[in-house]
Amino acid sequence: MKTEKTGLNFGLVGFSGLGGFQEKMLSELLDNEIRVYGVRFAEGKIYGAVSPFDYYRTAKTARKYGVKLRAEERHGLYFTLLKYRRRIGLYMGFLVFAAMLAVLQTRVQDISITGDVHKAQVLNILEDCGITVGAPTASLNISRAEQKLMLEVENCAWVDVSCVGFRVNVRVEKGIEKPEIEDKQPRNIVASRPAQIVRQIVRDGASVVNNGSGVNTGDLLVSGTVPDGRDKILFVRSDAEIIGEWTETQEFFVPFTENVSVADGNKKVFKWLILGDDEYPLFLGKAVSDNSLYVEETSLVRIFGQETSMLIKTGTFTEYTEKTITRSSEAAASELKKQKENFEQNFYSDYEIIDVVEKFYPAEDGIRLELEYTLQGDIAKPVIIEYDDTELPPVSIDNTDKTESQADS
Amino acid sequence: MGLREKLIEYEETAGRRFSVTMTAESGEDAELIIENCRCVKSCDDNFIVLSVSGKDIRISGTPLVIENFGIGSLKIKGKIHSLTFEEN
């Protein structure tokens, strides 16, 4: 018959008892609350099983009632441990493992950052608060780190820093960006530079200049104070596009002989293995090289032609070397043209170039280029009208009052 | 009646009360649970006599296996043929 055993069993000792008062022995075991499993009687013998911890009491009770008790099968955790009791190495290994686990748990081994935030920034803030890999977990100042993150991370809604085991979990959530609200403060529009007015598009406000007229920097172009037709003046937020024309002269010089830095020196190549968010350097020391051009590329790792989730990052430092170059007059002119194009792209992209006069002046050591630009562009510069709300409500001009007071006087 | 006397009475009543529950399925061994039993009068492979507060419970069956659980609770498994109550 299958014996059903429930509960936490460290082991069982099967026994058989012969002769004596078996019923009395069983009654006493029941009375002493000793749990006996699978008791059966056959051929004048009693069979059963008890916990190894209760066997001594069972044997004592059996002796009391003249039952010859004999231990038979023994199985369970208690006996397994007893079997390996001389295997010191096994226990030592287990103890060392437990000790390592306990010791490693006392220091931070990993920092996990989640949320739409720059990890480097968060790591720097945590470092300032003493939370780094290797820091003791017992002395982490988590509330300080949370406060600092709230203050230093831009538009931070809430922060949660917690230490679970040896891992520090950081969660940073940002708030919803504020919508841009148009400023309604009244303003004038003035000239941002000296120019001649070519054309103007006034959306709001009153234009005070005519096309063709010349203006200087800061001159009023569009006024934000507008009469409303009922002898009152309204403050408005002027909005206009005032296109002016002006001339500018630029000079460039290219020498025939020049010392330049060219990245064609010694190359140093460093590789990293990328697994998820982690990078493992495949070299010793630091990936640093002075006065060098750094180029980085990433490629997938393939094993037997199959793509894996691993990446290899290759960083190449190429040292700059000083070189003396000599140009012909054609090459110098070409270099000047290149400089001119770069300049126009960088500084005149917002303007329309109406005309440009190029003048080349060859010299002994190089060529000088003089450029005279005629440019057109928006010269409108908004300026807020400042007034005191308490003293100056929208200005009211009442001619009737004035005439009456004049008549009175 | 004071609280102490009430408690003593409850204890005595609980000592006199016993329960027998039998669970059986066709083709399977039956299971007999006897609560508040602390004395096995006689037993062999086919008969077990238990003494429960002034009564004897006589169980016959093949083969009968006893297990105990909790305090004063017994579980008897096997093909039970009869169950008899006798006054002492």
> For A308-317, how does the pLDDT look when each residue is reduced to its tens digit (9 = 90+)?
888 899 999 9
A-chain residues near B63 (CB < 8 A): 1, 40, 42
Give tens-digit pLDDT for B28-51: 888 999 988 878 888 888 888 988
Q: Return the pLDDT at A341.
A: 92
Contact A234, A387 (CB under 8 A): no
Mean pLDDT over residues A147-163, rounded?
90
Give the separation between CA A131 and CA A137, rounded to whole angstroms.
9
Listed in sequence order, the residues at least 6 apart from A100 whose beta carbon sits closer than 8 Å to its beta carbon are none
Establish if A37 touches chain B: CB-CB under 8 angstroms: yes
Mean pLDDT over residues A193-215, rounded?
91
- Using CA coordinates, name the residue in chain A closest to B69: A35
Give tens-digit pLDDT for A354-395: 999 999 898 888 899 999 999 999 999 999 887 766 555 555
When pLDDT is cut at 50, 70 and 90, the band that residue A137 belongs to is confident
B70 to chain A, closest Cα gap in Å: 8
Q: Which amino acid, residue A380?
A: A
Domain holding B45, by residue range, is: 3-87
Contact B42 A36 (CB under 8 A): no
The total of structural domains in chain B comes to: 1
Task: Name the average pLDDT for chain A.
Answer: 85
**CATH number of B52's domain:** 2.60.40.2000
Mean pLDDT over residues A252-257, rounded?
91
Contact B45 A37 (CB under 8 A): no
B-chain residues near A42 (CB < 8 A): 44-45, 63
B29-58: b (≥16 Cβ within 10 Å) or e: bbbbbbbbbbbbebbbbbebbbbbeeebbb
Listed in sequence order, the residues at least 6 apart from A145 whose beta carbon sits closer than 8 Å to its beta carbon are A125, A126, A129, A131, A161, A170
Contact A40 B63 (CB under 8 A): yes
Establish if A35 touches chain B: CB-CB under 8 angstroms: yes
Question: Per-residue pLDDT for A26 more than 80?
Answer: yes
Least confident of A108-112, B13-17, B37-41: B13-17
Contact B64 A40 (CB under 8 A): yes
**Interface test with chain B among A2, A16, A41, A51, by most B beta carbons within 10 Å:** A41
Identify the residue with better confidence: A386 or A70. A70
Give the separation between CA A29 and CA B37, rounded to whole angstroms.
12
CA angle B36, B79, A31 (to 5 degrees): 25
Q: Please indicate, yes or no, whether the overall pTM of this predicted structure exceeds 0.90.
A: no
Domains and CATH numbers, chain A: 12-82 (3.30.2130.10), 110-174 (3.10.20), 195-253+327-409 (no CATH), 258-325 (no CATH)
Residue contacts between A and B (CB atoms, under 8 Å): 56
Give the separation between CA A111 and CA A219, rounded to whole angstroms.
59
Q: Return the pLDDT at A400.
A: 43
Q: Which of A113, A116, A174, A175 is nearest to A145 (CA)?
A: A113
Least confident of A80-89, A153-162, A208-217: A80-89
Listed in sequence order, the residues at least 6 apart from A276 whose beta carbon sits closer than 8 Å to its beta carbon are A309
Question: Per-residue pLDDT for A171 more than 90?
Answer: yes
Q: Return the pLDDT at A386.
A: 78
When pLDDT is cut at 50, 70 and 90, the band that residue A329 belongs to is confident
Q: Are strands A306-326 and A292-303 parallel, antiparallel or unpaired?
A: antiparallel
When pLDDT is cut at 50, 70 and 90, the band that residue A233 belongs to is confident
Contact A40 B40 (CB under 8 A): no
Of the partner residues A23, A38, A43, the one whose CB lies closest to the CB of residue B67: A38
Tokens of A360: 């080349």
Q: Are strands A167-174 and A110-114 parallel, antiparallel or unpaired?
A: parallel
Contact B68 A29 (CB under 8 A): yes
Question: Per-residue pLDDT for A271 more than 90?
Answer: yes
Tokens of A16: 């058989």
- Radius of gyration for the alpha carbons in chain A, expressed in angstroms and rounded: 46
